[in-house]
Amino acid sequence: MAPGVPYRKLFGLPGVTAQAVLGFLAQLTQQVAPAGIVLVVQASSGSLVLAGLAAAAFGIGAGMARPVQGRLIDRRGPRGVLAVSASAHVTALIALVIGAGSGWPGWTTVALAWTAGAGLPPISVTMRIEWGGRMAAEGRTAAYSLVYLVQELAILTGPLLFGLLIALVSASVGLGVVAAAAGAGTLAFSRALKVTGPSLSAGRGRVFRHVGMRVLLGVVVLLGGAIGALDVGVPALAVARGIPAATGPLVAALALGGVAGAAVYGARQWAAAPALRLSGLLLVFGLALAPLVLVSSLPLFWVVLFAGGLMVNPALTTTSLLVDEFAPGAQAEAFGWVSTAVSMGAAAGAGVAGVVAQQFGPSLPFLVAAGFAGLAAILSSLLLGPIGRP
Same domain, 261 and 157: no
How many other CB atoms are there within 10 angstroms of residue 2's CB atom? 9
Higher confidence at residue 92 or residue 388? 92
- Domain span at residue 62 reads 6-191
pLDDT > 70? residue 1: no
Same domain, 343 and 238: yes
Same domain, 162 and 237: no
In a domain, 202, yes or no: no
Instruction: Tell which of 191, 226, 257 closes a domain.
Output: 191
In a domain, 343, yes or no: yes
Query: Exposure string (b/e) for 247-281, b if CB count within 10 Å is 16 or more?
Result: eebbbebbbbbbbbbbbebbbeeeeebbbbbbbbb
In a domain, 196, yes or no: no
pLDDT > 70? residue 388: no
Average pLDDT, the chain: 87
**Residue 156: is it exposed, middle or buried by C-beta count within 10 angstroms (0-12/13-18/19+)?**
middle
In a domain, 205, yes or no: no
At 259-301, the pLDDT tens digits run 899 899 988 888 889 999 999 999 999 999 988 888 778 888 8
Same domain, 141 and 256: no
pLDDT tier at 2, thresholds 50, 70, 90: low
Same domain, 221 and 129: no
Average pLDDT of span 99-105: 88
In a domain, 1, yes or no: no
In a domain, 342, yes or no: yes
Same domain, 118 and 40: yes
What is residue 291's predicted lDDT score, i.e. its pLDDT? 87
> What is the rounded distance in angstroms from the CA atom of residue 119 to the CA atom of residue 379?
32
Average pLDDT of span 117-125: 93
At 176-188, the pLDDT tens digits run 999 999 999 999 9
At 129-155, the pLDDT tens digits run 889 888 777 788 889 999 999 998 998
Same domain, 84 and 226: no
What is residue 108's predicted lDDT score, i.e. its pLDDT? 93
At 211-268, the pLDDT tens digits run 999 999 999 999 999 998 888 888 887 877 787 777 778 888 888 898 899 899 988 8
pLDDT tier at 196, thresholds 50, 70, 90: low
> What is the rounded distance in angstroms from the CA atom of residue 35 to the CA atom of residue 159?
8
Same domain, 142 and 252: no
In a domain, 77, yes or no: yes
Same domain, 173 and 227: no
Number of domains in the chain: 2
Q: Provide the CATH number for the domain around residue 215.
A: 1.20.1250.20
Question: How many Å is the Cα radius of gyration of the chain?
Answer: 20
pLDDT > 60? residue 128: yes
Same domain, 292 and 219: yes
Same domain, 229 and 355: yes
Same domain, 279 and 354: yes
At 40-49, the pLDDT tens digits run 888 888 877 8
Average pLDDT of span 343-356: 87
In a domain, 204, yes or no: no
